[in-house]
Amino acid sequence: MFTLLLLGAALLPSSVLGLWPIPRNLQLGTSFVKLAPTFDITINVNSPPQDLLDAVSRTKEYLLTDKLQRLVVGRGDSDSASVGSAPTLPDLTLSLLSSAPPRAIAVEAVQPIGARSEEYSLTIPSDGTAATLTANSTLGLYRGLTTFGQLWYELAGVTYTYQAPVKIENDMPAFPYRGFMLDTSRNFFPVADIKRTLDAMSWVKINTFHWHVVDSQSFPLEIPGFPELSSKGAYSSGEIYSSVDVKDIVTYAGARGIDVLMEIDTPGHTAAISASHPEHIACNQASPWTDFANEPPAGQLRLASAATTNFTAELISSIAGTLPSSLFSTGGDELNTNCYAKDSQTQADLKSNGHTLEQALSVFVQATHKSLTDLGKTPVVWEEMVLEHTVTLPKNAVVMVWISSENAAKVAAKDFRIVHTPSDYFYLVKTFVFTTWLKA
Protein backbone atom coordinates (compact mmCIF):
# COMPACT_ATOMS: atom_id res chain seq x y z
CA MET A 1 0.00 0.00 0.00
CA PHE A 2 2.82 2.41 0.82
CA THR A 3 4.22 2.05 -2.69
CA LEU A 4 0.81 2.73 -4.20
CA LEU A 5 0.30 5.85 -2.11
CA LEU A 6 3.69 7.23 -3.08
CA LEU A 7 2.92 6.65 -6.73
CA GLY A 8 -0.46 8.31 -6.35
CA ALA A 9 1.05 11.32 -4.62
CA ALA A 10 3.66 11.69 -7.33
CA LEU A 11 0.94 11.93 -9.96
CA LEU A 12 -1.12 14.59 -8.16
CA PRO A 13 -0.81 18.35 -8.66
CA SER A 14 1.18 19.84 -5.80
CA SER A 15 -1.76 22.03 -4.82
CA VAL A 16 -4.12 19.20 -3.92
CA LEU A 17 -2.00 16.80 -1.88
CA GLY A 18 -4.48 16.96 0.98
CA LEU A 19 -7.39 15.66 -1.09
CA TRP A 20 -8.02 11.95 -1.44
CA PRO A 21 -9.72 10.92 -3.64
CA ILE A 22 -9.56 13.83 -6.05
CA PRO A 23 -13.06 15.27 -6.60
CA ARG A 24 -14.55 15.60 -10.04
CA ASN A 25 -14.88 19.09 -11.50
CA LEU A 26 -12.43 20.52 -9.00
CA GLN A 27 -11.57 24.21 -9.36
CA LEU A 28 -8.97 25.74 -7.04
CA GLY A 29 -7.65 29.25 -6.64
CA THR A 30 -4.46 30.60 -5.08
CA SER A 31 -5.86 32.85 -2.36
CA PHE A 32 -5.48 32.38 1.38
CA VAL A 33 -8.50 32.04 3.65
CA LYS A 34 -8.49 31.12 7.34
CA LEU A 35 -11.19 29.80 9.61
CA ALA A 36 -12.64 32.41 11.93
CA PRO A 37 -12.07 31.80 15.66
CA THR A 38 -15.86 31.48 15.90
CA PHE A 39 -16.16 29.31 12.78
CA ASP A 40 -19.28 27.16 12.81
CA ILE A 41 -21.14 24.70 10.62
CA THR A 42 -24.82 25.45 10.11
CA ILE A 43 -27.23 22.65 9.20
CA ASN A 44 -30.00 24.07 7.06
CA VAL A 45 -31.97 20.82 7.17
CA ASN A 46 -35.36 20.22 8.75
CA SER A 47 -35.16 17.68 11.59
CA PRO A 48 -31.57 16.61 10.87
CA PRO A 49 -30.86 13.02 11.91
CA GLN A 50 -28.60 12.50 14.90
CA ASP A 51 -25.76 10.95 12.92
CA LEU A 52 -25.59 14.08 10.73
CA LEU A 53 -25.40 16.24 13.84
CA ASP A 54 -22.66 13.95 15.15
CA ALA A 55 -20.78 14.12 11.84
CA VAL A 56 -20.80 17.92 11.99
CA SER A 57 -19.50 17.81 15.57
CA ARG A 58 -16.69 15.46 14.56
CA THR A 59 -15.78 17.69 11.63
CA LYS A 60 -15.50 20.76 13.84
CA GLU A 61 -13.41 18.82 16.35
CA TYR A 62 -11.22 17.52 13.53
CA LEU A 63 -10.61 21.03 12.21
CA LEU A 64 -9.48 22.10 15.69
CA THR A 65 -7.30 19.11 16.53
CA ASP A 66 -5.94 17.62 13.31
CA LYS A 67 -3.02 20.07 13.12
CA LEU A 68 -2.02 18.92 9.65
CA GLN A 69 0.67 21.15 8.21
CA ARG A 70 1.58 21.58 4.57
CA LEU A 71 3.60 18.77 3.03
CA VAL A 72 6.44 21.08 2.00
CA VAL A 73 9.84 21.95 3.42
CA GLY A 74 9.28 24.33 6.29
CA ARG A 75 5.73 23.07 6.76
CA GLY A 76 4.29 26.31 5.38
CA ASP A 77 6.35 28.79 7.40
CA SER A 78 6.56 30.98 4.30
CA ASP A 79 2.76 31.33 4.39
CA SER A 80 2.85 33.28 7.65
CA ALA A 81 2.33 36.77 6.21
CA SER A 82 -0.41 35.64 3.83
CA VAL A 83 -2.20 33.77 6.58
CA GLY A 84 -2.06 36.77 8.87
CA SER A 85 -3.77 39.06 6.36
CA ALA A 86 -6.15 36.47 4.92
CA PRO A 87 -9.96 36.89 5.03
CA THR A 88 -11.73 34.73 7.61
CA LEU A 89 -14.33 32.12 6.77
CA PRO A 90 -17.20 32.48 9.25
CA ASP A 91 -19.40 29.57 8.40
CA LEU A 92 -20.14 26.48 6.32
CA THR A 93 -23.83 25.97 5.58
CA LEU A 94 -25.19 22.49 4.79
CA SER A 95 -28.37 22.14 2.74
CA LEU A 96 -30.31 19.33 1.12
CA LEU A 97 -31.58 19.82 -2.41
CA SER A 98 -34.31 17.24 -1.94
CA SER A 99 -37.56 18.21 -0.25
CA ALA A 100 -38.05 14.67 1.08
CA PRO A 101 -37.61 14.14 4.83
CA PRO A 102 -33.92 13.50 5.51
CA ARG A 103 -32.84 9.98 6.31
CA ALA A 104 -29.97 9.07 8.61
CA ILE A 105 -26.53 8.67 7.05
CA ALA A 106 -26.59 5.07 8.24
CA VAL A 107 -29.84 4.43 6.38
CA GLU A 108 -28.52 5.98 3.18
CA ALA A 109 -25.28 3.98 3.45
CA VAL A 110 -27.00 0.59 3.27
CA GLN A 111 -29.19 1.28 0.27
CA PRO A 112 -28.71 -1.22 -2.59
CA ILE A 113 -25.69 -0.73 -4.82
CA GLY A 114 -26.51 1.89 -7.40
CA ALA A 115 -29.22 3.49 -5.27
CA ARG A 116 -26.91 5.34 -2.89
CA SER A 117 -26.76 9.09 -3.39
CA GLU A 118 -23.24 10.21 -2.50
CA GLU A 119 -22.87 13.26 -4.73
CA TYR A 120 -22.38 16.76 -3.35
CA SER A 121 -21.29 20.28 -4.35
CA LEU A 122 -19.01 22.49 -2.28
CA THR A 123 -17.95 26.14 -2.62
CA ILE A 124 -15.49 28.07 -0.46
CA PRO A 125 -15.26 31.74 -1.49
CA SER A 126 -12.01 33.68 -1.24
CA ASP A 127 -13.58 36.90 0.12
CA GLY A 128 -14.56 35.69 3.60
CA THR A 129 -18.23 35.02 2.83
CA ALA A 130 -19.79 31.75 3.99
CA ALA A 131 -19.02 28.42 2.36
CA THR A 132 -21.85 26.19 1.14
CA LEU A 133 -22.28 22.44 0.88
CA THR A 134 -25.31 20.96 -0.89
CA ALA A 135 -26.34 17.37 -1.60
CA ASN A 136 -29.35 15.20 -2.35
CA SER A 137 -28.90 13.10 0.79
CA THR A 138 -27.31 13.16 4.22
CA LEU A 139 -24.77 10.68 2.89
CA GLY A 140 -23.79 13.20 0.22
CA LEU A 141 -23.45 15.88 2.89
CA TYR A 142 -21.19 13.55 4.84
CA ARG A 143 -18.95 12.97 1.81
CA GLY A 144 -18.77 16.73 1.31
CA LEU A 145 -17.85 17.29 4.95
CA THR A 146 -15.01 14.82 4.47
CA THR A 147 -13.72 16.78 1.49
CA PHE A 148 -14.09 20.08 3.33
CA GLY A 149 -11.94 18.78 6.17
CA GLN A 150 -9.12 17.83 3.79
CA LEU A 151 -8.65 21.36 2.45
CA TRP A 152 -7.18 22.91 5.59
CA TYR A 153 -3.74 23.22 7.15
CA GLU A 154 -2.45 24.55 10.45
CA LEU A 155 0.20 27.20 11.10
CA ALA A 156 0.90 28.73 14.49
CA GLY A 157 -2.56 27.85 15.76
CA VAL A 158 -4.41 29.12 12.69
CA THR A 159 -6.35 26.81 10.36
CA TYR A 160 -6.15 27.97 6.75
CA THR A 161 -6.23 27.05 3.08
CA TYR A 162 -4.14 28.55 0.31
CA GLN A 163 -6.40 27.24 -2.49
CA ALA A 164 -9.45 29.53 -2.34
CA PRO A 165 -11.77 29.96 -4.02
CA VAL A 166 -12.70 26.29 -4.06
CA LYS A 167 -15.50 25.03 -6.28
CA ILE A 168 -16.47 21.37 -6.48
CA GLU A 169 -19.54 20.77 -8.56
CA ASN A 170 -21.48 17.50 -8.34
CA ASP A 171 -18.63 15.34 -7.09
CA MET A 172 -19.64 11.69 -7.15
CA PRO A 173 -17.86 8.34 -6.94
CA ALA A 174 -16.49 6.65 -10.04
CA PHE A 175 -17.49 3.28 -8.57
CA PRO A 176 -20.62 2.59 -6.48
CA TYR A 177 -18.80 -0.15 -4.52
CA ARG A 178 -15.51 0.82 -2.87
CA GLY A 179 -14.52 -1.83 -0.38
CA PHE A 180 -11.96 -2.92 2.17
CA MET A 181 -11.88 -6.52 3.41
CA LEU A 182 -10.65 -7.52 6.86
CA ASP A 183 -10.15 -11.14 7.94
CA THR A 184 -10.85 -11.50 11.67
CA SER A 185 -10.69 -15.29 11.77
CA ARG A 186 -7.03 -15.92 11.08
CA ASN A 187 -6.06 -12.78 13.01
CA PHE A 188 -8.49 -11.44 15.60
CA PHE A 189 -8.86 -7.65 15.74
CA PRO A 190 -10.41 -5.96 18.81
CA VAL A 191 -13.46 -3.78 18.26
CA ALA A 192 -11.39 -0.64 18.86
CA ASP A 193 -9.03 -1.60 16.03
CA ILE A 194 -11.95 -2.21 13.67
CA LYS A 195 -13.38 1.20 14.53
CA ARG A 196 -10.02 2.81 13.85
CA THR A 197 -10.03 1.06 10.46
CA LEU A 198 -13.55 2.34 9.77
CA ASP A 199 -12.40 5.87 10.55
CA ALA A 200 -9.56 5.57 8.04
CA MET A 201 -11.96 4.16 5.44
CA SER A 202 -14.36 7.06 5.89
CA TRP A 203 -11.60 9.63 5.37
CA VAL A 204 -11.00 8.31 1.85
CA LYS A 205 -14.68 7.63 1.15
CA ILE A 206 -14.47 3.81 1.09
CA ASN A 207 -18.10 2.80 1.52
CA THR A 208 -18.10 -0.96 2.18
CA PHE A 209 -16.49 -2.91 5.02
CA HIS A 210 -16.25 -6.52 3.82
CA TRP A 211 -16.04 -8.40 7.10
CA HIS A 212 -14.57 -11.86 6.51
CA VAL A 213 -15.45 -12.69 10.05
CA VAL A 214 -15.01 -16.48 10.32
CA ASP A 215 -12.91 -19.15 8.62
CA SER A 216 -11.27 -22.51 9.28
CA GLN A 217 -8.82 -21.11 11.81
CA SER A 218 -11.39 -19.71 14.25
CA PHE A 219 -15.05 -18.82 14.61
CA PRO A 220 -15.09 -15.57 16.61
CA LEU A 221 -18.68 -14.57 15.81
CA GLU A 222 -21.55 -15.01 18.26
CA ILE A 223 -24.64 -15.97 16.26
CA PRO A 224 -28.09 -15.84 17.87
CA GLY A 225 -29.30 -19.38 18.43
CA PHE A 226 -25.85 -20.86 17.81
CA PRO A 227 -23.71 -19.76 20.79
CA GLU A 228 -21.68 -22.98 20.68
CA LEU A 229 -20.03 -22.01 17.39
CA SER A 230 -18.05 -19.18 18.98
CA SER A 231 -17.80 -20.55 22.51
CA LYS A 232 -16.04 -23.64 21.16
CA GLY A 233 -14.62 -22.36 17.89
CA ALA A 234 -12.99 -19.04 18.82
CA TYR A 235 -9.32 -18.73 19.70
CA SER A 236 -10.34 -17.79 23.23
CA SER A 237 -13.31 -16.49 25.19
CA GLY A 238 -11.80 -13.01 24.94
CA GLU A 239 -11.63 -13.14 21.15
CA ILE A 240 -15.33 -13.27 20.28
CA TYR A 241 -17.53 -10.62 18.70
CA SER A 242 -20.71 -10.61 20.75
CA SER A 243 -24.04 -9.51 19.35
CA VAL A 244 -23.48 -6.22 21.16
CA ASP A 245 -20.06 -5.87 19.50
CA VAL A 246 -21.52 -6.53 16.05
CA LYS A 247 -24.25 -3.95 16.57
CA ASP A 248 -21.65 -1.47 17.84
CA ILE A 249 -19.43 -1.98 14.76
CA VAL A 250 -22.34 -1.78 12.33
CA THR A 251 -23.69 1.38 13.98
CA TYR A 252 -20.25 2.99 14.02
CA ALA A 253 -19.72 2.13 10.35
CA GLY A 254 -23.14 3.35 9.26
CA ALA A 255 -22.65 6.73 10.91
CA ARG A 256 -19.53 7.09 8.77
CA GLY A 257 -21.27 6.20 5.51
CA ILE A 258 -20.03 2.60 5.47
CA ASP A 259 -22.06 -0.51 4.70
CA VAL A 260 -21.00 -3.68 6.55
CA LEU A 261 -20.96 -6.67 4.20
CA MET A 262 -20.49 -9.74 6.37
CA GLU A 263 -19.19 -13.00 4.94
CA ILE A 264 -19.75 -16.51 6.29
CA ASP A 265 -17.64 -18.50 3.85
CA THR A 266 -19.28 -21.82 2.88
CA PRO A 267 -19.05 -24.70 2.24
CA GLY A 268 -15.23 -24.53 2.37
CA HIS A 269 -13.16 -22.70 4.97
CA THR A 270 -15.35 -24.04 7.77
CA ALA A 271 -13.13 -26.35 9.84
CA ALA A 272 -13.69 -24.24 12.97
CA ILE A 273 -17.31 -25.43 13.05
CA SER A 274 -16.04 -28.93 13.84
CA ALA A 275 -15.23 -27.85 17.40
CA SER A 276 -18.97 -27.68 18.14
CA HIS A 277 -20.54 -29.69 15.30
CA PRO A 278 -18.17 -32.35 14.01
CA GLU A 279 -21.11 -34.13 12.39
CA HIS A 280 -21.33 -31.37 9.78
CA ILE A 281 -17.66 -31.31 8.76
CA ALA A 282 -16.00 -33.57 6.17
CA CYS A 283 -12.26 -34.44 6.31
CA ASN A 284 -11.95 -32.73 9.66
CA GLN A 285 -8.27 -32.14 10.47
CA ALA A 286 -7.33 -34.58 7.69
CA SER A 287 -3.65 -35.05 6.98
CA PRO A 288 -1.72 -34.14 4.98
CA TRP A 289 -3.78 -30.97 4.82
CA THR A 290 -2.43 -30.18 1.36
CA ASP A 291 -4.58 -33.02 -0.02
CA PHE A 292 -7.77 -31.72 1.55
CA ALA A 293 -7.59 -27.93 1.77
CA ASN A 294 -5.84 -24.84 0.41
CA GLU A 295 -4.47 -24.14 3.87
CA PRO A 296 -4.65 -25.83 7.26
CA PRO A 297 -6.68 -27.00 9.00
CA ALA A 298 -8.70 -29.18 6.63
CA GLY A 299 -12.46 -29.31 7.01
CA GLN A 300 -15.50 -28.44 4.87
CA LEU A 301 -19.24 -28.53 5.39
CA ARG A 302 -20.90 -31.77 4.29
CA LEU A 303 -22.80 -30.08 1.51
CA ALA A 304 -24.62 -33.24 0.38
CA SER A 305 -26.23 -33.67 3.80
CA ALA A 306 -29.75 -32.29 4.20
CA ALA A 307 -29.09 -31.77 7.92
CA THR A 308 -25.92 -29.79 7.21
CA THR A 309 -27.64 -27.74 4.50
CA ASN A 310 -30.48 -26.82 6.86
CA PHE A 311 -28.03 -26.07 9.67
CA THR A 312 -26.04 -23.73 7.42
CA ALA A 313 -29.09 -21.95 6.03
CA GLU A 314 -30.43 -21.40 9.54
CA LEU A 315 -27.22 -19.95 10.94
CA ILE A 316 -26.80 -17.64 7.95
CA SER A 317 -30.38 -16.46 8.29
CA SER A 318 -29.91 -15.91 12.01
CA ILE A 319 -26.95 -13.55 11.65
CA ALA A 320 -28.00 -11.92 8.37
CA GLY A 321 -31.34 -10.97 9.90
CA THR A 322 -29.56 -8.80 12.48
CA LEU A 323 -27.71 -6.74 9.86
CA PRO A 324 -29.07 -3.72 7.97
CA SER A 325 -27.04 -4.28 4.79
CA SER A 326 -28.82 -5.50 1.66
CA LEU A 327 -25.73 -7.63 0.92
CA PHE A 328 -24.45 -10.81 2.56
CA SER A 329 -21.66 -13.07 1.34
CA THR A 330 -21.79 -16.87 1.47
CA GLY A 331 -18.25 -17.13 0.06
CA GLY A 332 -17.81 -20.25 -2.02
CA ASP A 333 -14.11 -20.13 -2.82
CA GLU A 334 -11.44 -22.83 -2.84
CA LEU A 335 -13.69 -25.86 -2.55
CA ASN A 336 -11.59 -29.02 -2.29
CA THR A 337 -13.34 -31.85 -4.15
CA ASN A 338 -10.88 -34.48 -2.95
CA CYS A 339 -12.12 -33.87 0.57
CA TYR A 340 -15.60 -35.02 -0.46
CA ALA A 341 -14.30 -37.89 -2.54
CA LYS A 342 -12.60 -39.29 0.57
CA ASP A 343 -15.48 -38.58 2.97
CA SER A 344 -17.63 -41.69 3.36
CA GLN A 345 -20.60 -39.75 4.75
CA THR A 346 -20.67 -37.38 1.77
CA GLN A 347 -20.41 -40.27 -0.66
CA ALA A 348 -23.29 -42.03 1.09
CA ASP A 349 -25.42 -38.87 0.96
CA LEU A 350 -24.69 -38.37 -2.73
CA LYS A 351 -25.68 -41.93 -3.47
CA SER A 352 -28.84 -41.70 -1.38
CA ASN A 353 -29.93 -38.48 -3.09
CA GLY A 354 -28.90 -39.58 -6.56
CA HIS A 355 -26.80 -36.41 -6.95
CA THR A 356 -23.41 -35.63 -8.36
CA LEU A 357 -21.20 -33.41 -6.22
CA GLU A 358 -22.00 -30.42 -8.44
CA GLN A 359 -25.73 -31.05 -8.15
CA ALA A 360 -25.44 -31.33 -4.38
CA LEU A 361 -23.44 -28.09 -4.30
CA SER A 362 -26.15 -26.32 -6.27
CA VAL A 363 -28.84 -27.55 -3.87
CA PHE A 364 -26.72 -26.39 -0.93
CA VAL A 365 -26.09 -22.93 -2.40
CA GLN A 366 -29.72 -22.45 -3.42
CA ALA A 367 -30.81 -23.25 0.14
CA THR A 368 -28.37 -20.83 1.76
CA HIS A 369 -29.24 -18.13 -0.76
CA LYS A 370 -32.97 -18.64 -0.19
CA SER A 371 -32.38 -17.90 3.46
CA LEU A 372 -30.98 -14.54 2.33
CA THR A 373 -33.50 -13.68 -0.36
CA ASP A 374 -36.30 -14.46 2.09
CA LEU A 375 -34.84 -11.61 4.17
CA GLY A 376 -34.72 -9.32 1.14
CA LYS A 377 -30.95 -9.56 0.88
CA THR A 378 -28.69 -10.02 -2.14
CA PRO A 379 -26.21 -12.94 -2.05
CA VAL A 380 -22.52 -12.26 -2.72
CA VAL A 381 -20.16 -15.05 -3.79
CA TRP A 382 -16.56 -15.55 -4.85
CA GLU A 383 -15.84 -16.09 -8.55
CA GLU A 384 -15.44 -19.88 -8.31
CA MET A 385 -19.19 -20.25 -7.89
CA VAL A 386 -19.59 -18.90 -11.43
CA LEU A 387 -16.45 -20.04 -13.21
CA GLU A 388 -15.63 -23.43 -11.65
CA HIS A 389 -19.02 -24.84 -10.66
CA THR A 390 -22.44 -25.34 -12.19
CA VAL A 391 -24.57 -23.89 -9.43
CA THR A 392 -27.74 -21.88 -9.90
CA LEU A 393 -27.37 -18.34 -8.57
CA PRO A 394 -29.91 -15.53 -8.32
CA LYS A 395 -29.51 -13.23 -11.31
CA ASN A 396 -28.98 -10.27 -8.98
CA ALA A 397 -26.11 -12.00 -7.16
CA VAL A 398 -22.87 -10.06 -6.84
CA VAL A 399 -19.70 -11.93 -7.79
CA MET A 400 -16.32 -11.02 -6.34
CA VAL A 401 -13.45 -11.62 -8.77
CA TRP A 402 -10.28 -12.23 -6.80
CA ILE A 403 -8.09 -14.85 -8.47
CA SER A 404 -7.23 -12.96 -11.63
CA SER A 405 -8.27 -9.72 -13.25
CA GLU A 406 -8.64 -11.69 -16.48
CA ASN A 407 -11.63 -13.43 -14.93
CA ALA A 408 -13.62 -10.21 -14.59
CA ALA A 409 -14.65 -10.31 -18.23
CA LYS A 410 -15.58 -13.99 -17.94
CA VAL A 411 -17.92 -13.31 -15.04
CA ALA A 412 -19.37 -10.22 -16.70
CA ALA A 413 -20.03 -12.28 -19.84
CA LYS A 414 -22.33 -14.44 -17.70
CA ASP A 415 -24.34 -11.29 -16.94
CA PHE A 416 -23.47 -10.98 -13.26
CA ARG A 417 -22.53 -7.82 -11.44
CA ILE A 418 -18.95 -7.96 -10.26
CA VAL A 419 -16.76 -6.50 -7.57
CA HIS A 420 -13.21 -6.41 -8.90
CA THR A 421 -10.77 -7.54 -6.18
CA PRO A 422 -7.94 -9.10 -8.23
CA SER A 423 -5.13 -10.69 -6.24
CA ASP A 424 -2.77 -10.34 -9.21
CA TYR A 425 -2.67 -6.57 -8.60
CA PHE A 426 -2.93 -6.09 -4.89
CA TYR A 427 -3.17 -8.85 -2.32
CA LEU A 428 -1.76 -8.49 1.17
CA VAL A 429 -1.92 -11.76 3.09
CA LYS A 430 -0.52 -12.61 6.48
CA THR A 431 -1.63 -16.07 7.57
CA PHE A 432 -0.01 -19.23 8.78
CA VAL A 433 3.29 -19.29 6.88
CA PHE A 434 3.59 -16.50 4.36
CA THR A 435 3.25 -12.87 3.46
CA THR A 436 2.50 -11.99 -0.16
CA TRP A 437 2.45 -8.60 -1.85
CA LEU A 438 1.89 -8.75 -5.57
CA LYS A 439 2.35 -6.03 -8.21
CA ALA A 440 2.04 -3.27 -5.63
Indicate which residues carry an active-site annotation: 334
Torsion on CA atoms 90, 25, 68, 61, rounded to nearest 10: 50
Bridge-based pairing state of the strands 179-183 and 208-212: parallel
How far apart CA 92 and CA 375 sit, in angstroms, is 41
Give the number of C-alpha atoms closer than 13 A to the C-alpha of residue 147, restricted to the C-beta side: 32
With beta carbons less than 8 A apart as the criterion, state whether 422 and 401 touch.
yes
Q: Which residues contact 73 (CB under 8 A, 6 or more apart)?
A: none
Rg for the chain (alpha carbons), in Å?
25
- Residues 391, 369: contact at Cβ < 8 Å? no
For residues 159 and 173, give the distance between their C-alpha atoms in angstroms, rounded to a whole number: 28
Rounded to the nearest 5 degrees, what angle is found at the Cα of 27, between the Cα atoms of 22 and 29?
A: 115
